Chain A
Amino acid sequence: MHVRIESDPPGPLAVIGELPDARLAMIEGLNGIGKTLAVRLLQLCAGTMPYRANSQAWASLLDGLGVFTVSVTGLQEVKELVWVADTRDWVTFDDSQPSTEWFREIRIDGQPASLDEVRSVMSVHRIAGDEGMIETLAQLADTEADVVRDWSARYAAVGSSPLWSLETRLGDAQELLGDVSVDRYAELVASARAATNEFNQAKKTAKEIQDLRDLSADTLNLRTRLIAVRSRTPGLTAELAEVDASIDQVRREREEVQQQFATVAGRVARAEPLKRELRNARRTLNRNRDKLSEALADASAMASQLGLSVERVEIQSAIDQLEERASVLRAEQSELDAAPAMRSLIREVTGELAEAEAKGLGDQIAVDDPETEVKLTVTQTRVGMVTRDVFLEGQPPSPQARDLTESLAEVAEDLTRSRALVSAVEEVERFQRLVQENEERVARSLAAGAGAAGDELKALEERRRAIDETLLQLAARRAGLAQRLGTTGEGTTERALAQQLARALDRAGIAESELDNEFALRDEAATRAQAELSRAEDLAAGTRRAVARIEADIRRASATLSDHEELGWLREALDTSLPSSSAVQVPELLAYVEGARSVLERIVDRLGAYRIQLAAVERALREVGRRVRGQVAEAVEYVEELQGWIGGRLSDWFNNPRVRHELLPEAKGDVVVDLSTREVLWSESRGSRSRPLEAFSSGEQAFAYTRARLAVLDEERDPATNRLIVLDEFGAFIAHDRLEGLLAYLRDRASHRPGDQVLVVLPLSSDYAQMAATSVGAEAKRLQGLVDQITRRGYAVRVLMP
């Protein structure tokens, strides 16, 4: 094989332009002319990586060589191999091994070819003399670490890799399915249940405390009324007695007048019809006057109850004020307690919804909240509203709302009474008109036939009329007083109130002296209980909303899993489907979604673990390299396994018959490499033996080790048709006498390996000009030829076997 290298390095890098075509040759040259670089460049062209990826030498090559062309002729089976590349392009590749893409051109006999095709035609092996067994083994581990790192960077990198593509799709799927879990759902449902129970308990407690508060309030009210009655009773009683006395007095006067009238009227002997008319007229008058008296007493009593007089204008004014007051109270009530208004609204709407259900619209969506994404059908909406109605029905109003309700009831009652009073006044007015008419009828009778007694009768009648008027006024006044004292009389009312108060105090378990204080305490407790009830209600409502939201999430996730085009792969792989009926319950939907999510999580975990494993394996391989070099060992995952694995590979290498022959000729049975102790173990007839790895890197063993490495190449399966084996850097590590032995070995080997070309590269170690000057004949001519080569190109080639 004749190798030519054309390049124009942009920097200080140098590379020799030619390698000789000889079965065995030796190059001796000055340092820095690019002998080793030429060999390594040829290794790259043949598809192997001779550099550590992050080494300074590799970085120097990438920047310093640039465009180059390598051609090889003198091959077996093909005529020519040509490579063209620019090392600056290689910065963009992160492969651990060269690939076809690294080269701008690869040709075999003028035809484009791949690097793999080159590999089958030609291989280049460099055996470095400065590289002992320790470093060779350590570099083996380092190289494997590089392979793992490069593969990881290509296939498992975050941001752009096949693994990342899988993770991205999985992440998208997980996002589509949301983060609802069975545990979270169960937790929320349990919270909602607990909050509802707490609310029910708070409601019960609030009612009990409110009842106690109301009991004390009623008792307090009784006592207030009793005190009021007791404070006003003495004056009213005296006034009533005075009125009663006046009534008795006026009635007696009326009796007298009636007697006198009857006497005078009896003396009137005129026509019987006239007397009958007068009698009838007076009877009618008396009857209507009695009714007027009753109506006036009723109206007075009613007016007294309302604190009004029996005056239409005053009563109407009171009614107007009461109606305005009722309107204000109703507005305040709506603000403090929306339950009655809400219940009214709910009953109205649920009726409409029930009609819609009857028309077959029950499964139609009636509520669609974009914020919570809650969707409710007509039936679900109606059921929910009915539930709310029942809930509101059981809600006790706040103390303030209760007070308002009571005030409103009182106003309503006063309004009813006032309107009844208007009717009573109308009745009074009607009887007043009748009495007036009757009076006029009596007057007409008297005028028609009384004769001489007429004036006396008229006078008596006038007097009786005045008395009746007085009686009316007294009766009305008495009715008002009686009303103010109580319907059954003042003594009974006070006693009854006192008895009621005693019973109420007993029921409430309160001493009368403690009533005010106890009411204040119970009122405060009721307020606190009401606040606690509100808090519990808010909590219960909040947890119910949370459950509704999570159930909406579950339904949405289930629908996504069933329908979303991005999840087709997941549906197919799961090979399960959810019944399409809308009646499927949330737990079933959740189990469906959770099953898929669980699978996704396991895959994500697996992918994540894989990336970690790759990094750990790379670290472990580098740690194996450090241990082989005898550096401080660290505990690293996988290191024991990989140390054993690499040790096994080395053991296999030592068990190669040629290696055993060169390095351990006395060994019997298996040779074992123990990297943990950095020893080679074997048996001989004299017993078990061991030797540190360092012992294979010096002196006689270094020479034997080199022969062993060549022997391994001889054992290579399916070797390339053309192999270039370069023994580099041997001058400094093998003594001169050993070098002659090595060359003899290579000559012998070459006769058995026609496809191999061996090149020994040495530093220039002799002064050939001096030697030529002191030599004669052919030897002087040969030495002068070497001097000329070195002068011309910096190195000399000695062909040992053409």
Chain B
Amino acid sequence: MNHIGEQKITGDRVAEILRGANRGARDPDIDLLELLTELGVVADSQEVGEILKRLVHDARQD
């Protein structure tokens, strides 16, 4: 497993903690944690654009 895989494991663990703290309605925001994990440590400009598009989509759904 490479470094990104190891980060994914850490991300999953943080997600589990956030689920433990869950109070509903993105409190805390587990969806965003998953997006950031997907974005990776070194944020590529194109990837940032794609994530932003998904955030816009979420914002319009709210």
CB-CB < 8 A to B36: which residues of A? 155-156, 162-163
Interface residues of B in 20-43 (CB under 8 A from A): 20-23, 26-29, 32-33, 36-37, 39-41, 43
Q: In the complex, are the beta carbons of B56 and A573 less than 8 A apart?
A: yes
Q: In the complex, are the beta carbons of A95 and B21 less than 8 A apart?
A: no
A644 to B5, CA, bound (A): 30
CB-CB < 8 A to A163: which residues of B? 36
CB-CB < 8 A to B50: which residues of A? 569
Output the least CB separation between B30 and chain A (Å): 10
Q: In the complex, are the beta carbons of B57 and A573 less than 8 A apart?
A: yes
Q: In the complex, are the beta carbons of B10 and A162 less than 8 A apart?
A: no
CB-CB < 8 A to A776: which residues of B? none
- Residues of A in contact with B, size category: 35 or more
* A528 interfacial contact with B, CB 8 Å: no
CB-CB < 8 A to A154: which residues of B? 7, 41
**CB-contact partner of A169 in B1, B7, B19, B48, under 8 A:** B48
Interface residues of A in 630-658 (CB under 8 A from B): 638, 641-642, 644-646
Interface of A is mostly: helix
A165 to B51, CA, bound (A): 11
- Residues of B in contact with A, size category: 35 or more
**CB-contact partner of B17 in A148, A606, A610, under 8 A:** A148
A668 to B14, CA, bound (A): 34
**CB-contact partner of A151 in B10, B40, B57, B59, under 8 A:** B10
Q: Which of A162, A165, A166, A638 has the most chain B CB atoms inside 10 A of its CB?
A: A162
Q: In the complex, are the beta carbons of A606 and B55 less than 8 A apart?
A: yes
CB-CB < 8 A to B2: which residues of A? 100, 114
B-contacting 9-mer, from A209-217, A286-294, A458-466, A613-621:
A613-621
**CB-contact partner of B43 in A95, A162, A642, under 8 A:** A162
A409 to B6, CA, bound (A): 95
CB-CB < 8 A to A156: which residues of B? 36
CB-CB < 8 A to A99: which residues of B? 3, 6
Q: Which of A148, A156, A572, A610 has the most chain B CB atoms inside 10 A of its CB?
A: A610
Q: In the complex, are the beta carbons of B21 and A642 less than 8 A apart?
A: yes
Q: In the complex, are the beta carbons of B21 and A569 less than 8 A apart?
A: no
Q: In the complex, are the beta carbons of B37 and A155 less than 8 A apart?
A: yes
Q: In the complex, are the beta carbons of B20 and A642 less than 8 A apart?
A: yes
A114 to B10, CA, bound (A): 16
CB-CB < 8 A to A115: which residues of B? 6
Output the least CB separation between A606 and chain B (Å): 7
Q: In the complex, are the beta carbons of A641 and B17 less than 8 A apart?
A: no
Q: In the complex, are the beta carbons of A147 and B10 less than 8 A apart?
A: yes
Q: In the complex, are the beta carbons of B28 and A617 less than 8 A apart?
A: yes
CB-CB < 8 A to B17: which residues of A? 144, 147-148, 617, 621, 642, 645
A460 to B43, CA, bound (A): 130
A525 to B31, CA, bound (A): 70
Q: In the complex, are the beta carbons of A573 and B53 less than 8 A apart?
A: yes
Given the known A-B contacts A96-B10, A151-B10, A606-B26, are A569 and B52 also in contact in the complex, defined by CB atoms under 8 Å?
yes
Output the least CB separation between A637 and chain B (Å): 9
Interface residues of A in 162-180 (CB under 8 A from B): 162-163, 165-166, 169-170
Closest to B55 in A: A603
Q: In the complex, are the beta carbons of A162 and B18 less than 8 A apart?
A: no
Closest to B5 in A: A116
CB-CB < 8 A to A162: which residues of B? 36, 39-41, 43, 48
Output the least CB separation between A50 and chain B (Å): 17
Given the known A-B contacts A606-B29, A638-B23, A642-B21, are A573 and B52 also in contact in the complex, defined by CB atoms under 8 Å?
yes
Given the known A-B contacts A151-B10, A638-B23, are A116 and B1 also in contact in the complex, defined by CB atoms under 8 Å?
yes
Q: In the complex, are the beta carbons of A116 and B23 less than 8 A apart?
A: no
Output the least CB separation between B27 and chain A (Å): 7
Q: In the complex, are the beta carbons of B29 and A613 less than 8 A apart?
A: yes
Q: In the complex, are the beta carbons of B21 and A617 less than 8 A apart?
A: yes
A613 to B53, CA, bound (A): 23
Interface residues of A in 119-171 (CB under 8 A from B): 144, 147-148, 150-151, 154-156, 162-163, 165-166, 169-170
Q: In the complex, are the beta carbons of A602 and B49 less than 8 A apart?
A: no
A143 to B10, CA, bound (A): 12
CB-CB < 8 A to A599: which residues of B? 56, 59-60
Q: In the complex, are the beta carbons of A155 and B18 less than 8 A apart?
A: no
Output the least CB separation between A437 and chain B (Å): 107
Q: In the complex, are the beta carbons of A165 and B39 less than 8 A apart?
A: yes
Q: In the complex, are the beta carbons of B49 and A568 less than 8 A apart?
A: yes
Q: In the complex, are the beta carbons of B39 and A572 less than 8 A apart?
A: no
**CB-contact partner of A166 in B3, B11, B29, B51, under 8 A:** B51
Q: Which of B11, B28, B37, B39 has the most chain A CB atoms inside 10 A of its CB?
A: B28
Can you report 14 residue pairs joining A to B where beta carbons are below 8 Å apart?
A: A116-B1, A148-B17, A162-B39, A162-B41, A166-B48, A599-B56, A602-B62, A606-B58, A610-B28, A610-B32, A613-B28, A621-B17, A638-B21, A642-B20
What 5 pairs across the A-B complex have the smallest Cβ distances? A645-B20, A116-B1, A573-B56, A165-B43, A613-B28
